Chain A
Amino acid sequence: MNDNLQKTVTTEDIDSKKILACTINLGTRIVDELIGVSISKPQDMVEELPELVAAALLSELSI
Chain B
Amino acid sequence: MLYKQSINQANSLLTEFQLANKKITILPQSPIYPIVQAITTVNETGNDEQLYQNSISANIADGTHSEIEEQYKVKLAKILSNIVVTAKNVVNPLVRDILTKIEESRKLKLLSIANLLGNINIVEIPKLLSDDMFLQLISPYKNTPPVELSKYVNLFDLINDTFNQNEIEQLIRTNNVTLDNKLLELLNNNFSNLNFISLNTSNQLSLNDSVLLFFVLQAIDNQTNDKATSINNVDDNYNKVIELKIAIAGYIYREITAIEEYIKDGEITVRGSFLITNNNSSVLNVYGATYRNWLQTKGGSPEAALGYLAKNGNIFNYAKDLDLRTNPHKYLEEYERRLNQAKTLNTLEDVKLTRTITRDYLATYISQLEDVDHITLQNKLSENLQREYYGANQTTMFVTKVVCRTLIIGDEVKNLLLEIDNVLESMENPDMDKAVYLAIIRLTARWLASNFKIVPKVITIIN
Contact = CB atoms under 8 A, between A and B. Distances in A.
Contacts of B434: 42, 44-45
Given A27-B445, A38-B81, A61 B3 contact: no
A16 B209 CA distance: 88
A9 to B, nearest CB: 6
Among B3, B81, B88, chain A packs the most CB atoms within 10 A around the CB of: B3
B5 A48 contact: yes
A20 B444 contact: no
A10 B457 contact: yes
Interface string B83-106: 011001000000000000000000
Contact of A40 (B12, B35, B433): B433
Q: Is the interface of A mostly helix, strand, loop or mixed?
A: helix
Contacts of B437: 31, 35, 39-42, 45
Interface residues of A, number: 54
B438 A34 contact: no
B448 interface: yes
A25 B13 CA distance: 13
Given A26-B69, A40-B437, A63 B10 contact: no
A44 B7 CA distance: 25
Interface stretch (B22-30, B312-320, B343-351): B22-30
A21 B12 CA distance: 10
A39 B87 CA distance: 12
Contact of A7 (B25, B41, B436, B461): B461
B74 interface: yes
Given A1-B11, A30-B77, A33-B77, A7 B462 contact: yes
Given A22-B35, A26-B72, A57 B448 contact: yes
B13 A15 contact: no
B441 A31 contact: yes
A13 B460 CA distance: 10
A61 B25 CA distance: 12
A60 interface: yes
Given A22-B35, A26-B35, 19 more contacts: A6-B45, A13-B14, A13-B18, A15-B24, A18-B39, A21-B6, A21-B7, A23-B448, A24-B10, A28-B5, A31-B437, A39-B433, A50-B8, A51-B5, A52-B441, A53-B9, A56-B444, A60-B442, A60-B445
B17 interface: yes
Nearest to A10: B460
A20 to B, nearest CB: 4
Nearest first, the 5 closest Cβ-Cβ pairs linking A and B are: A56-B445, A54-B9, A21-B10, A60-B449, A33-B77
Contacts of B461: 7-8
A26 B448 CA distance: 9
A44 B428 CA distance: 14
B76 A9 contact: no
B460 A24 contact: no
B16 interface: yes
A7 to B, nearest CB: 7
Contact of A27 (B24, B433, B441, B459): B441
A12 interface: yes
Interface of A: 1, 5-31, 33-35, 37-42, 44-45, 48-54, 56-63
A23 B46 contact: no
25 contacts: A9-B45, A10-B460, A14-B44, A16-B24, A18-B36, A18-B42, A18-B51, A21-B2, A21-B9, A22-B2, A22-B65, A24-B9, A25-B3, A26-B69, A33-B74, A34-B77, A34-B440, A41-B437, A50-B3, A53-B445, A54-B12, A56-B441, A56-B446, A60-B448, A62-B454
A29 B73 contact: yes
B431 interface: yes
A13 to B, nearest CB: 6
Nearest to A11: B44
Contacts of B436: 39-40
Interface in B32-51: 32, 35-36, 39, 41-42, 44-46, 51
A19 B73 CA distance: 16
A63 B19 CA distance: 9
A8 B42 contact: no
A30 B69 CA distance: 10
